[in-house]
Amino acid sequence: MDTSSAIAMFLHFGLLGIACLAVAEKFIPLFPSYALLMLLGLTVSDGAMLAMTIVATSIGSVVGAIGWYGLGRALGSRRIEQLVATYGKYVLLRPSFYQQLTNAYRGNCFWVTLIGQTLPTVRIYLALPAGVLRLEPYAFLAATSIGTVLWNMPFLSLGYALRDSGQDSVSIGFWVVAILIAVEAAIVLGLRFYNRVTVGPRLVPSSAIAASKPVEETA
C-alpha cells in the first residue's frame, strides 16, 4: 500500500482516522508533517470541520508525544541511547541529534517543550529525552498541547484557504509544500555549515596548545 492509499484509508474513518493519522505521523515520519497537515486542510469542507480537524490532529499528535515520553521513561537513559545508536539513523534520529535534544532541557523545560513542538523533526523526537529525564508529566502535557496547536493550526488553515481560493488547490499546495521543504533543507544546511565554521576554529588552538607543551618542558 502506497502513502496516498494509506492516507485515503485513514480519511475514510473521519475525525477518528485523522487523529490516528496524526499519531502515526509521530512514529513513522515518511514525509514532513506540514505537508500532511496542508493536505488534510484541502479536504476540509467548512469552518466548523476545520476547527474539529485542528482538535483531532492535535489530540493525535499529543498522544504520539505521550507514546515517546512513556517509552523514554520506561526504558531509561542507557537502553534508549543504545537503541538510538543502533537504529536511530533509519528514522532521522542520530545519536548527536538525540544528545542535542537532551541538552536542550538544561533550560526552561516548559518553554523548550512548547517551542520544540513548532520545529520540524524536533517535534517528533523531543518527547523521548523528556521521558528519559522524567520531566513533570502535567507540565510536559500542557506545553506539548499548546505547541502542537500552534504548529497544526496554520498549516491546516492554509490548506483550507487554498481549497476555497478558486485556483488549482492541488497544484498550489504542491508548490507551497515544495517551497517549505526547500526552506527547511536550507536551514538545516545553514546550521551545519555554521557549526563547522564556528566549532572548527575552536579546535585548532586546543591542539596547538597541547602540541606546544613538550617543547616548553624540554626548554
- Cα 173 from chain centre: 21
pTM to 2 decimal places: 0.76
Query: What is the rounded radius of gyration, in angstroms, for the C-alpha atoms of the chain?
Result: 21
Model confidence at 9, pLDDT cuts 50, 70, 90, reads confident
Sign of dihedral through CA atoms 57, 59, 60, 62? positive
What pLDDT is recorded for position 44? 85
Could you tell me the end-to-end alpha-carbon distance of the chain, in angstroms, rounded to an integer?
73
- Cα 61 from chain centre: 11
How many other C-beta atoms are found inside a 10 Å radius of the C-beta of residue 147? 25
Nine-digit cell string for 92: 532521522
Three-class DSSP category at 33:
helix
Give start and end residues of each alpha helix (H) in 117-164.
122-125, 127-132, 137-163
Of 19-28, 76-85, 138-147, 191-200, the one with minimum mean pLDDT is: 191-200
What pLDDT is recorded for position 42? 83
**DSSP output for 172-205:** HHHHHHHHHHHHHHHHHHHHHHHHHHHHHHHHHH
Q: Is the pLDDT confidence value at 75 over 50? A: yes
Of 16-25, 89-98, 136-145, 168-177, the one with minimum mean pLDDT is: 168-177
Report the alpha-carbon distance of residue 155 to residue 124 in Å, rounded. Answer: 17
For the stretch 118-168, pLDDT in tens is: 888 888 899 999 999 999 999 999 999 999 999 999 889 988 888 766 665
Residue type for 126, please?
A: L
Average pLDDT value over all residues in the chain:
80
Q: Would you call 141 exposed, middle or buried from its count of C-beta atoms within 10 A (0-12, 13-18, 19+)?
A: middle
Q: What is the mean pLDDT of residues 76-86?
A: 92
